[in-house]
Amino acid sequence: MKKTYLGGCHCGAVRYQVNLDLGQGTFKCNCSICAKARSWLATAAAGDFRLLSGEAELTEYLFHRRRIHHLFCRRCGVRSFGWGEAAGSAPEAGGKFYAIHVNCLDDLAPEDLVNAPVAYIDGRGDRWQSAPPEFRHL
Protein backbone atom coordinates (compact mmCIF):
# COMPACT_ATOMS: atom_id res chain seq x y z
CA MET A 1 0.00 0.00 0.00
CA LYS A 2 1.33 3.41 -0.93
CA LYS A 3 2.21 5.78 1.86
CA THR A 4 2.92 9.50 1.56
CA TYR A 5 6.38 10.57 2.70
CA LEU A 6 8.10 13.92 2.96
CA GLY A 7 11.75 14.02 2.10
CA GLY A 8 14.60 16.26 1.17
CA CYS A 9 18.19 17.23 1.55
CA HIS A 10 20.19 17.76 4.75
CA CYS A 11 19.92 21.57 4.96
CA GLY A 12 16.18 21.58 4.14
CA ALA A 13 16.41 23.70 0.99
CA VAL A 14 15.08 20.84 -1.19
CA ARG A 15 11.78 19.35 -0.03
CA TYR A 16 9.45 16.92 -1.75
CA GLN A 17 6.42 14.72 -1.20
CA VAL A 18 6.26 11.23 -2.65
CA ASN A 19 3.81 8.32 -2.56
CA LEU A 20 5.68 5.03 -2.25
CA ASP A 21 4.91 1.44 -1.41
CA LEU A 22 8.20 0.26 0.03
CA GLY A 23 6.71 -3.22 0.29
CA GLN A 24 6.84 -3.35 -3.52
CA GLY A 25 10.59 -3.13 -3.32
CA THR A 26 13.67 -0.98 -3.22
CA PHE A 27 16.93 -1.39 -5.06
CA LYS A 28 20.66 -0.97 -4.90
CA CYS A 29 22.66 -0.55 -8.07
CA ASN A 30 26.29 -1.31 -8.83
CA CYS A 31 26.88 1.50 -11.33
CA SER A 32 29.83 3.74 -10.52
CA ILE A 33 27.87 6.56 -8.86
CA CYS A 34 25.46 4.36 -6.89
CA ALA A 35 28.25 2.11 -5.64
CA LYS A 36 30.40 5.06 -4.51
CA ALA A 37 27.46 6.76 -2.77
CA ARG A 38 26.03 3.45 -1.48
CA SER A 39 22.63 4.51 -2.80
CA TRP A 40 19.46 2.76 -1.63
CA LEU A 41 16.58 3.71 -3.88
CA ALA A 42 12.89 3.28 -4.57
CA THR A 43 11.12 4.34 -7.75
CA ALA A 44 8.04 6.50 -8.01
CA ALA A 45 5.91 7.30 -11.04
CA ALA A 46 5.87 10.95 -12.10
CA GLY A 47 2.34 11.40 -10.72
CA ASP A 48 3.46 10.20 -7.27
CA PHE A 49 6.18 12.84 -6.85
CA ARG A 50 5.85 16.55 -6.06
CA LEU A 51 8.73 18.95 -5.53
CA LEU A 52 7.66 21.30 -2.74
CA SER A 53 10.65 23.64 -2.61
CA GLY A 54 14.23 24.09 -3.67
CA GLU A 55 14.10 23.75 -7.45
CA ALA A 56 16.56 26.64 -7.77
CA GLU A 57 18.92 24.89 -5.33
CA LEU A 58 19.16 21.70 -7.39
CA THR A 59 22.21 20.99 -9.50
CA GLU A 60 22.24 18.23 -12.06
CA TYR A 61 24.95 15.70 -12.81
CA LEU A 62 24.79 13.55 -15.94
CA PHE A 63 27.32 10.93 -16.98
CA HIS A 64 27.82 7.83 -19.16
CA ARG A 65 24.69 7.57 -21.32
CA ARG A 66 23.22 10.74 -19.75
CA ARG A 67 19.84 9.09 -19.09
CA ILE A 68 19.53 9.52 -15.34
CA HIS A 69 19.40 13.05 -13.99
CA HIS A 70 21.31 12.86 -10.71
CA LEU A 71 20.24 15.90 -8.70
CA PHE A 72 21.87 17.30 -5.60
CA CYS A 73 21.41 20.33 -3.38
CA ARG A 74 23.96 23.03 -4.20
CA ARG A 75 24.00 24.10 -0.51
CA CYS A 76 24.60 20.83 1.35
CA GLY A 77 25.47 18.43 -1.50
CA VAL A 78 22.90 15.76 -0.59
CA ARG A 79 21.30 13.74 -3.38
CA SER A 80 17.76 13.08 -2.23
CA PHE A 81 16.22 12.12 -5.59
CA GLY A 82 16.85 11.95 -9.31
CA TRP A 83 14.78 11.22 -12.37
CA GLY A 84 14.85 9.47 -15.71
CA GLU A 85 12.73 8.19 -18.57
CA ALA A 86 11.90 4.50 -18.72
CA ALA A 87 13.63 2.77 -21.61
CA GLY A 88 11.74 0.58 -24.05
CA SER A 89 12.92 -2.43 -22.07
CA ALA A 90 10.94 -1.31 -19.03
CA PRO A 91 7.37 -0.60 -20.24
CA GLU A 92 5.98 -1.21 -16.76
CA ALA A 93 7.72 1.97 -15.58
CA GLY A 94 5.65 4.03 -18.01
CA GLY A 95 7.73 7.05 -18.97
CA LYS A 96 9.21 9.49 -16.48
CA PHE A 97 10.10 8.10 -13.08
CA TYR A 98 11.78 9.38 -9.93
CA ALA A 99 14.52 7.54 -8.07
CA ILE A 100 14.07 8.36 -4.40
CA HIS A 101 16.96 7.95 -1.96
CA VAL A 102 15.09 6.21 0.86
CA ASN A 103 17.60 7.47 3.43
CA CYS A 104 16.32 11.00 2.68
CA LEU A 105 12.72 10.28 3.68
CA ASP A 106 11.70 12.02 6.89
CA ASP A 107 10.44 10.03 9.88
CA LEU A 108 10.78 6.72 8.08
CA ALA A 109 10.42 3.97 10.65
CA PRO A 110 13.41 1.59 10.67
CA GLU A 111 11.03 -1.37 10.41
CA ASP A 112 9.71 0.03 7.10
CA LEU A 113 13.23 -0.29 5.67
CA VAL A 114 13.95 -3.62 7.34
CA ASN A 115 10.79 -5.06 5.78
CA ALA A 116 11.34 -3.52 2.33
CA PRO A 117 12.52 -6.05 -0.24
CA VAL A 118 15.83 -5.11 -1.88
CA ALA A 119 16.67 -5.94 -5.50
CA TYR A 120 20.23 -5.64 -6.77
CA ILE A 121 20.67 -4.16 -10.25
CA ASP A 122 23.60 -4.48 -12.64
CA GLY A 123 23.73 -0.87 -13.80
CA ARG A 124 27.48 -1.10 -14.34
CA GLY A 125 26.83 -3.70 -17.06
CA ASP A 126 23.70 -1.91 -18.41
CA ARG A 127 21.69 -5.00 -17.50
CA TRP A 128 18.93 -3.21 -15.59
CA GLN A 129 16.74 -6.30 -15.23
CA SER A 130 19.52 -8.48 -13.78
CA ALA A 131 21.45 -8.73 -10.56
CA PRO A 132 25.21 -8.22 -10.76
CA PRO A 133 27.46 -11.23 -10.17
CA GLU A 134 28.43 -9.79 -6.76
CA PHE A 135 26.30 -7.47 -4.64
CA ARG A 136 27.17 -8.10 -1.00
CA HIS A 137 29.16 -4.86 -0.91
CA LEU A 138 26.18 -2.76 -1.99
pLDDT of residue 91: 43
- 34-66 residue pLDDT tens: 899 999 999 999 999 999 999 999 999 988 777
pTM comes to 0.87
- 93: confidence class by pLDDT, cuts 50, 70, 90: low
pLDDT of residue 96: 92
| Bridge pairing between strands 26-29 and 118-121 | parallel
Taking the domains of the chain in order of start, what are their residue ranges?
Answer: 3-121
Residue 87 has pLDDT above 70, yes or no: no
Other beta carbons less than 10 A from residue 86's beta carbon: 17
User: Is the domain covering 3-121 a CATH 1.10.3720.10 domain?
Assistant: no
Closest by Cα among 73, 95, 94 to 16: 73
pLDDT of residue 130: 81
Residue 89 has pLDDT above 80, yes or no: no
CB 98 within 8 Å of CB 46: yes
Mean confidence (pLDDT) of the chain: 90
- 67: confidence class by pLDDT, cuts 50, 70, 90: confident
